[in-house]
């Protein structure tokens, strides 16, 4: 087994949605109804929804950043690392707000739906590509939170390439996000 195969297996196991999660309809599915590619990821955090929600509200480029674990962030210049605290100034998010994205200089997401503390849906158009990215938080047993992320993309010319290359990039970035959040989100002692 190659290192790439091993990395893929480890990352996939940590962010794999349950079959019923991947099969369920989610807020934002209607924004890109005829998606060419759908990527579902899910993970559990050991904190209640109310503690997890603020981390997603402030997530993003030119905001709190993209949460990664310390062992990866040490290779990123300090000014580009994600913050490790909740910033009250970044907690004001509403439908219609535009958030810059790392997908290109002019790439951005627009908040399409927000229902605190459980649903945040973004949409974006990039040339002929339309996409939605939904974040859903579900309270699970013992004060834990199940996080489900769904990316829906339409207008893809090379579906197979988007599924493989885009899927691997999505898998690794979400696995990094999950690991970074596990370090940051802590229930009160």
Question: Which CATH number belongs to the domain containing residue 28 in this structure?
Answer: 3.30.530.20
Q: What is the DSSP letter of 143?
A: G
Question: Is 114 within 8 Å of 2 (Cβ atoms)?
Answer: no
Whether 78 is covered by a domain: the verdict is yes
36 has a pLDDT exceeding 90: yes
Nearest to 103 by CA among 28, 17, 162, 180: 162
Structural domain count, the chain: 1
Question: Mind giving me the DSSP string for 85-135?
Answer: S--GGG----TT-EEE-SSSTT-EEEEEEEETTTEEEEEEEETTEEEEEEE
- Token code pair at residue 136: 């859903």
Say if residue 175's pLDDT is above 60. yes
Neighbours of 31 (CB within 10 A): 20
Model confidence, pTM: 0.89
Q: How far is CA 176 from CA 14, 41, 69, 139, in A?
A: 10, 12, 7, 22
Question: Model confidence at 2, in pLDDT bands (50, 70, 90)?
Answer: low
Pairing of strands 98-100, 37-45: unpaired
Confidence of residue 37 (pLDDT cuts 50, 70, 90): very high
Give domain status of residue 189, yes or no.
no
Is the model's pLDDT at 110 over the cut of 60? yes
Domain limits for position 37? 3-184
Q: What is the pLDDT of residue 29?
A: 96
| Inter-residue contact 47 to 55 (CB < 8 Å) | no
Residues 76-109 have pLDDT tens digits of: 999 899 999 999 999 999 999 999 887 777 889 9
Choose between 114 and 125: higher pLDDT. 114
């Amino acid at each position: 087994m190659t290192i790439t195969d091993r990395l893929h297996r480890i990352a996939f196991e940590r962010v794999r949605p349950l079959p019923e999660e991947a099969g369920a309809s989610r807020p934002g599915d209607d924004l890109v109804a005829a998606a060419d590619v759908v990527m579902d990821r899910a993970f559990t955090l050991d904190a209640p929804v109310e503690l997890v929600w603020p981390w997603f509200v402030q997530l993003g480029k030119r905001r709190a950043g993209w949460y990664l674990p310390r062992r990866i962030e040490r290779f990123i210049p300090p000014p580009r690392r994600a913050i490790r605290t909740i910033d009250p100034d970044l907690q004001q998010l509403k439908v219609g707000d535009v958030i810059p994205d790392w997908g290109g200089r002019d790439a951005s997401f627009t908040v399409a739906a927000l229902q605190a503390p459980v649903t945040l849906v973004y949409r974006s158009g990039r040339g002929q590509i339309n996409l939605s990215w939904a974040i859903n938080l579900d309270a699970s047993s013992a004060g834990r939170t199940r996080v489900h992320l769904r990316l829906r993309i339409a207008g893809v010319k090379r579906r197979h390439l988007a599924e493989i290359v885009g899927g691997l990039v999505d898998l690794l970035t979400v696995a990094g996000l999950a690991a970074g959040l596990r370090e940051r989100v802590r229930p009160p002692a």
